[in-house]
Amino acid sequence: MATKPKVLLLKASEESSRDLFQEKLETAGYQTTVINTSVFSFINSEDLLCEMQHEDVYAGIILTSPRAVEAIKILLVPEYDELRSLWGKKEVFVVGKRTKKDAGDYLQWPDSLGEECGSAEALSDFIIKHCPVRKRKYLFPCSKLAGETLIQKLMGAGIDVKIIHIYDTVADPHLAQSLAIYLQDYGVPEYVIFFSPSGVKSVLSALSHNLDGFLKSKNPSSFEGPYKDTAELTGRPLAALRLTK
């Protein structure tokens, strides 16, 4: 019986106990393992609430991750149902199907736009294309690690953006141990899949003592989008990894 190719998924933990991406890979015949790379802490909640209470100032809101949706869900307790409803009538732009689903499930904002965009940069182009009226303002709650590309492109097109950092991302304190156990039990996987540049940096730090042994792949590919900058910053031969957005 042929050995199943091993796939290591390195991503932030999700609320659900089972990852849909993992399920699809296993259905396709891969042996998968998920290791958590990051933990999150929510910040600036009062600032976010203050801005959302001035909803008349904004044309809409930009959500580039499920974590941003989670922060708003925690913030808008039942006493703010009316406020949540008012924002749901505005333009809601999202990155990815997961963010769209969470916005619909947790915030009752089912009509968000941009789910086909795979990055904040792609979403900025989408917003510019779908907003012929300039001089509009959007609220952008995001991670402290969020890049400047979306803001620069939108403001360059005459679209004002109010950014609020609402969560911080740090490496999971157990990451190095989890990776060591995986390598001991399974060896180097055929595929390593990252879901964010911060995940790349966390793994680089955790494996600084054993990086060369880990960076092996039978299917090398180059960096694209935000990962290209991450590769340049690390100075490591990260093109040996197969990555996904």
* pLDDT at residue 209, as a whole number: 56
Percent of the chain with pLDDT over 90: 44
H-run or E-run covering 145: none
pLDDT at 210: 55
Closest listed residue to residue 26, CA positions, set 177, 191, 174:
191
Q: What is the pTM for the complete model shown?
A: 0.74
The answer to whether the CB of 74 falls within 8 A of the CB of 46 is: no
| Cβ neighbours around 237 below 10 Å, total | 12
d(CA 237, CA 1): 34
Give the pLDDT of residue 216.
52
pLDDT bin (cut points 50, 70, 90) of residue 197 is confident
- When pLDDT is averaged across residues 155-179 and rounded to a whole number, the result is 91
Contact 10, 195 (CB under 8 A): yes
What digits encode the pLDDT tens for the residues 50-86? 999 999 999 999 999 899 999 999 999 999 999 999 9
Distance of CA 110 to the CA centre of its chain: 20
pLDDT score at 227: 45
Residue 18 has pLDDT above 70, yes or no: no
- Give 223 or 40, the one with higher predicted confidence: 40
Cα separation, 100 vs 84, in Å, equals: 16
The pLDDT score that the predictor gives to residue 45 is 94
pLDDT over 70, % of the chain: 79
**Do the beta carbons of residue 229 and residue 197 sit within 8 Å?**
yes
Average pLDDT, the chain: 81
Indicate left, alpha or beta for 108 from its phi (over 0: left) and psi (-120 to 50: alpha).
left
Question: Does 214 have pLDDT greater than 80?
Answer: no
Where do the domains of the chain lie, and which CATH numbers do they carry? 6-37+172-240 (3.40.50.10090), 41-169 (3.40.50.10090)
